A and B are shown apart, each in its own frame.
Chain A
Amino acid sequence: DAKTTQPTSMDCAEGRAANLPCNHSTISGNEYVYWYRQIHSQGPQYIIHGLKNNETNEMASLIITEDRKSSTLILPHATLRDTAVYYCIAFPPSAGNMLTFGGGTRLMVKP
């Protein structure tokens, strides 16, 4: 699996968009970009994933650069409940592959 690099921490004002960057310069053609988040003392929560195209769901948007070397997770209107550690993972969706979590980004949403 390709290694991903994320900032250790970020702050965001409540109600504003939170833009979380991720670098995955060694990503291979069949590796999806997955985002999970983990709120304190809970299991990781799936947010979104994508391969080449930008993706949007009810939780967030995922913007992947054309060269696929980086991506940005966007929470359009951050709330205090979005405070969590956000993990970006490059994941080949083939049988048996485990998710390799890095350190993630600790997002603090402030009032």
Chain B
Amino acid sequence: DTGVSQNPRHKITKRGQNVTFRCDPISEHNRLYWYRQTLGQGPEFLTYFQNEAQLEKSRLLSDRFSAERPKGSFSTLEIQRTEQGDSAMYLCASSTAIQETQYFGPGTRLLVL
């Protein structure tokens, strides 16, 4: 069990650019979650996958955000036309179908200039 991994750990980009983050869940975890955390706040739910199916999306997930989990293993979160308000820590978590405890990765910290 190597834990949830996320790449990159840090990303600095200019406003208007596209960015993509990757999350590798704990192996055999079929549920994968994305959260966003801004400075001084707790994490907020963005979206959730069961295997390759995206089952739930938050209103926080605007049209500029898209998440995929094509083979039911790793997932990507893409932000198009980034805005300064997108600056945040993006967290990924995974869980099994039987035990619902979510285990988090280290996060990707995004700074939009």
Contacts and interface: CB of A to CB of B under 8 A. Distances in A.
Interface in B25-49: 31, 33, 35, 41-45, 48
> Interface on chain A toward B: helix, strand, loop, or mixed SS?
loop
A50 to B, nearest CB: 12
A96 B55 contact: yes
Contacts of B35: 98-99
Given A42-B107, A43-B91, A49 B101 contact: yes
Contacts of B48: 96, 98
Nearest to A100: B45
A98 B45 contact: yes
Interface centre among B33, B41, B100, B107 (most CB of A within 10 A): B100
A91 B100 contact: yes
B84 interface: no
> Interface on chain B toward A: helix, strand, loop, or mixed SS?
strand
Which of under 10, 10 to 19, 20 to 34, or 35 or more describes the interface residues of B?
Answer: 20 to 34
B97 to A, nearest CB: 8
The 8 tightest CB contacts between A and B, nearest first, are A101-B42, A98-B45, A43-B104, A93-B100, A44-B104, A43-B107, A43-B106, A101-B43
Interface of A: 34, 36, 41-46, 49, 87, 91, 93-104
10 contacts: A42-B107, A43-B4, A43-B104, A43-B105, A44-B91, A91-B100, A96-B56, A98-B35, A101-B43, A103-B42
